[in-house]
Amino acid sequence: MVNDALSPQDTLLLNNNGAWCWFQDERALIDPANNTLLVGSVAAPEGPGGSNRGGNIEVTVMHLATGERKVHVLHQRLESDDHNAPALLIRPDGRYVAMYARHKTDNYSRWRVSTRPHDASEWEPEQQFDWTELADGRGATYSNLHYLSSEDRVYNFVRAINDDPTLMISADDGSTWSYGGKLFTRPKIGYVNGYTRYVSNGTDRIDLITTDHHPRDFNNSIYHGYIHKNALHDAEGNVVNHPVIDSIGINQASLTTVFQAGTTLDGDVLTHGWTTDLRRQGPELAAIVTCRANDVNGPLRREQMLDVDDHRLLYARFDGAGWELHPLAVAGPGLLPHEQDYTGLGAVDPNDLNRVYISTPVDPRTGVGTARYEIYCGMTSDAGSGWVWEAVTEDSAVDNLRPMVVPGDPSVHAVCWFRGSMKSSQSYETEIVALISSARG
């Protein structure tokens, strides 16, 4: 079922009801030990299965050789919200960990561990970490799992205390968890504090990019740093906080700036940055940033109609010494009328930082608008200065949103996204699809 080259005609249906937010990782993995693709998602009552399925936390497993697929339910009807999508991890013993939380509506991080190695068909009973006292009852959101072999420790990054990026740690590969401290903190403005994306080398380092606050409430810049040997460093390697574990957190502006609010690129004044994706290869990193272009509306009260109508996707590249920021594509208007900074998003290929996939209603080859959000693949030969684009989807009847390129096996190239109709993070009728090939091209 794995093809030698990507073609839209080879699109595979993975799950007929599901979506995800973009602040959980890994939402999808390839397990080379059994040649399977695993994708986590949340079902909605608008889709197949209706209210009996809405809010199910699900993991779809597809065997790459046969195309056989199975949807496994981790938690029935937890909450109909794409923010609750599970983060997945393959433990050193081959068993899977799935971690998930509601969208700030209760105080629990939940997890399950598969009963057998490389087998998602059965899971141990769900366990919960209670944030109530630590977070003063403000709720927990998101899960991001990273194992560092040099420490033999798993980290889970959660939005919790003061709505700051906060961590849990596990010394037994995710079977049990304890509170690990806070990464960042500052007086909260508006809804929450820093939106953070993470990527690990799997050995001794976790890199991250983060914002100030929500772009609806603040003109965000974006900052980069990394965790190494229980210390938080800026991009130049300077220690800005030590220790990380049990820290009360620092201001994220202490890190290295990747995107400065108010930057002008190609004649566009860019503001209100949001973190979209982050990947690494060796010492190099690549990030995708979403921002507003030439925003003349300024801050709006939350009860006002939000009408920001022009966004950009930017590509940032770190060569091990410093960051370079480049225009990537026009991202169009806000995806949802009440979320003016939502876009179709984009993803960096974790096995080739020169390749990206984006979702946009503006064809990057021509600059012409399209009726629906379409997926495009971009390639660069000069670390992001210039791009060559190909359409992955065209003339679609529905929107194609939030692509991701699945890590886990460099010999398999899998691009997943969901397509359909999305009215909000809590209301969508979308299905999950993939293009999979064995040749990298």
Q: Say which CATH number the domain at 170 has.
A: 2.130.10.10
In a domain, 240, yes or no: yes
In 10 A of CB 22, how many CB atoms? 23
Q: Are 214 and 190 in contact (CB under 8 A)?
A: yes
Is residue 189 one of the residues assigned to a domain? yes
Residue 111 covered by a domain = yes
Q: Residue 310's CB: how many other CB atoms inside 10 A?
A: 16
Structural domain of residue 227, as residue ranges?
8-437
Q: Residues 245-258, buried b or exposed e (16+ Cβ, 10 A)?
A: eebebbbbeebbbb
Cβ neighbours of 243 (radius 10 Å)? 11
Q: Convert the pLDDT of each residue in 150-206 to its tens digit.
A: 999 999 999 999 999 999 999 999 999 999 999 999 999 999 999 999 999 999 999
Omega of the bond prior to 243 within 30 degrees of 0, cis?
Answer: yes
Structure tokens given for 137:
């009852």
* 3 state DSSP class of 163: helix
Among residues 146, 349, 314, the alpha carbon closest in space to that of 222 is found at: 314
pTM to 2 decimal places: 0.95
E strands, 201-283, in order: 205-211, 222-228, 231-234, 239-241, 256-259, 263-265, 268-281
Domain count, the chain: 1
Q: Which pLDDT belongs to residue 298?
A: 53
Residue 170 lies in a domain: yes
Which residues sit opposite 110 in a β-bridge? Answer: 100, 128
Residue 312 inside a domain? The answer is yes
Q: What pLDDT does 56 receive?
A: 98
Residue 2 in any domain: the answer is no
- Write out residues in the chain with pLDDT < 70, as ranges: 1-9, 296-308, 439-441
pLDDT tens digits for range 301-336: 444 444 468 999 999 999 999 999 999 999 999 999
Element (H, E) at 382: none
| Closest to 313 in 3D by CA, of 373, 396, 371 | 373
DSSP-based three-state secondary structure for 221: coil
Domain presence at residue 1: no
User: 3-class SS at 249?
Assistant: coil
Q: Residue 309 has what pLDDT?
A: 81
- Which residues does 298 contact at the CB level (< 8 Å), separation at least 6? none
pLDDT for position 4: 42
Cα atoms found within 13 Å of the Cα of residue 73, Cβ hemisphere only: 12
Q: What share of the chain is helix, strand, coil (3-state, %, to 5)?
A: 5, 50, 45
Rg (CA), the chain: 20
The verdict on residue 16 lying in a domain is yes
